[in-house]
Amino acid sequence: MSADLRQRDTALVVDDNRDELSLLVEALERADFTALAATNGEAALALLERVTPNVVVLDAVMSGLDGFATCRRIKQNPRFAHLPVIFLTGLKDTSHVLMGLEAGGVDYVVKPVIIEELVARIRIHVSNAKAAFGARVALDATGRHLLATDRDGRLLWCTPQAADLLAARLGPFEILRSQPPEAFAALLREAAERRDHDASAAAGPVAISFLCEIGGDELLFRLTEPQSVSDEAFLAQKFALTLREAEVLSWLARGKSNHDIAEILCISPRTVHKHLERIFVKLGVDSRSSATSVALQTLKALAAD
């Protein structure tokens, strides 16, 4: 298919040096890109509110909002999680390169640059971003609400519907490259620690399941909206139990011993005993049989509903 018939990729070029900006825009146009131009970070962010390009080529040193801060602002928006940002700058110290990559850049090119090499880099990053974004959209379209965090709990990326679900359930917050609300972060940690694909932590009507590690530094989770309330979630809500306490009570109601519960939940019998002590207090009972009776009556009411 000819370049005239296929849709051209769009590049946003941000540089406060108008001569260098014009040269790069012209070079990209000759390479079959649609090139947009901005002379500062604020103008680039305003433009991104109206259009989503395929790549951003960004100078680091600019008046007002510099390139590093601009890149961080771009990457805080979940719409642009897949958008490759390439730094093109005269700053060549290793510290500046690291700043660019840590801000969310995928590449760091030092001026002066050979235009043909830069265009080749841009094409590769655009192609990779399209493939990654397409895979995530496909997962989301099939009902896979996925998100990934680092080991500190910061969200690295999420599929579009997962972002919508998080915003609806948790309220607005800067979803990407930020620390989520503590209650939600705690549930992520709990799901990751359990490493059980069939178990999930409940955040209201949202369930969080740990799926796998990606490359050792990225943890992948699935969000689901249960169609019905689980026994554990109902017990937890009814008696102000933690999810683990609710699991222990649920297995107790099924006639399991402390040893059985410990094996099922991969914890020690002593830990089960400690959980039961707290459960008895919260239920206002003083024995296993009484706790079992209360749990069974509560779950019977749930089934009746």
Q: What is the CATH number of domain 10-138?
A: 3.40.50.2300
What pLDDT does 4 receive?
Answer: 46
Q: Per-residue pLDDT for 196 more than 50?
A: no
What pLDDT does 2 receive?
Answer: 42
CA–CA separation, 56 and 14 (whole Å)? 8
Q: Which amino acid is at 181?
A: P
Contact 24, 57 (CB under 8 A): yes
Residue entry with tokens 């730094």: 87
Q: Per-residue pLDDT for 190 more than 90?
A: no
DSSP letters of 62-127?
-SSS-HHHHHHHHHTSGGGTT--EEEEES--SHHHHHHHHHTT-SEEEESS--HHHHHHHHHHHHH
Q: Per-residue pLDDT for 176 more than 60?
A: no
CA–CA separation, 33 and 151 (whole Å)? 38
Domain ranges of the chain: 10-138, 143-224, 231-304
Q: What is the DSSP letter of 256?
A: -
Q: Domain spanning 143-224: which CATH class is it, in words?
A: alpha beta
Could you tell me the CA-to-CA distances from 180 to 173, 260, 272 in Å, in that order?
Answer: 8, 35, 30
pLDDT grade, residue 266 (50/70/90)?
confident
Could you tell me the CA-to-CA distances from 269 to 97, 112, 245, 272, 285 in Å, in that order?
Answer: 52, 66, 13, 5, 20
% of the chain beyond a pLDDT of 90: 45
pLDDT digits (tens, 9 = 90+) for 214-254: 766 778 887 776 555 678 888 988 899 998 999 999 999 98
- Span 280-293, average pLDDT: 92
Residue entry with tokens 């990751």: 192
- Fold held by 231-304: Arc Repressor Mutant, subunit A (1.10.10)
Answer with the residue of higher pLDDT: 284 or 305: 284
Mean pLDDT over the full length of the chain: 81
Alpha helices in 114-181 (DSSP H): 115-141, 160-170
